[in-house]
Amino acid sequence: MRRLITFDWAIKRLLRSKANFDVLEGFLSELLKDDIQIIEVLESESNQNRAADKFNRVDLKVRDRRQQIMLIEIQYDREYDYLQRMFYGVAKTVVEHLAEGQPYADIVKVISVNILYFDLGQGEDYVYHGQTVFTGIHKRDQLQLNEKQQELFQQTTVSALYPEYYLIKINQFDDVAKDPLDEWIYFLKHEEIKEHFTARGLQAAREKLDILKLPPEERAAYERYAEDLHYQASMFLSSYGDGFHEGRKEGLQEGLQQGLDQGRQEATLALARSLIGVLSVEVIAEKTGLSREVIESLYKN
């Protein structure tokens, strides 16, 4: 099995290139059950708002088989308030792409695709789809578009006018690929593409995301990135373990809880130190729960 680069690195460095659009087009086509063509990658303000956003998110302008233009944002990250972040990202994307003076009828459809490597909420499935529907309180019927609205919007349902959300919970996938979308999720989870996989875009991914085919400088940069992820994880585990055992030793019986708390605090500080220079102060604060002042003091030590 050939070793492939991770999808997050691919989005950061390779898949923004027009020459590699066929990879993302295949993934989106299988997810949306449509024929998706990428028109361009959008470098919007929302991509630049925070350091993490620029690298953990890509906004795409696409066309479906009906020649309908849509905006698709693909993002991944670990945040406790991720559900609110999804909503904020979609709302901002809508506003950014409606020029002053344009009628509301020109609002572009936005689809939010979220690749999650952590557990978000409670649920047994690994792919969730969210839409907006209006249901009658008394009759329990769903609000529909009238004929004039269907003609104006070129849509048949109310939900087609509003943003949609896809949540792909990678770690909850059971590794049994039952359809083409599952084949993509298998790749997202394992960075591997089995020989018998036939999903659109995967063969292009096999060729273009092969580590051995990266230019020497790009390959070295990827290896450093992968090593840094391992280093951060190791630092957290070792620092937590050292602090935990040191806390146990010093705490003995009555002071055990205090020692454990001290160990956890030391582990958190060690994690923050390892992220300095890799992530922004704001993102480190989100990840560790430390205050901005504490993190800035680590820069000086």
Structure confidence by residue, pLDDT tens digits, 217-268: 777 877 777 666 555 555 544 554 455 455 555 554 555 556 556 666 776 7
Domain boundary among 213, 238, 262: 213
Domain range enclosing 184: 7-213
Q: Evaluate whether 116 touches 74 at the Cβ level (below 8 Å).
A: no
125 and 198 share a domain?
yes
pLDDT tens string 32-48:
999 999 999 886 544 44
Higher pLDDT, residue 249 or 73: 73
- Tell me whether residue 1 is in a domain: no
φ/ψ of 71, rounded to 5, equals -110, 130
Contacting residues for 119 by C-beta, under 8 A, at least 6 apart:
169, 171, 172
Q: Evaluate whether 169 touches 127 at the Cβ level (below 8 Å).
A: yes
160 and 290 share a domain?
no
168 and 255 share a domain?
no
- Tell me whether residue 2 is in a domain: no
88 and 166 share a domain?
yes
- Tell me whether residue 141 is in a domain: yes
Amino acid at position 173, single letter: F
Whole-prediction pTM value?
0.70
The DSSP H or E segment spanning 179 is: none
70 and 193 share a domain?
yes
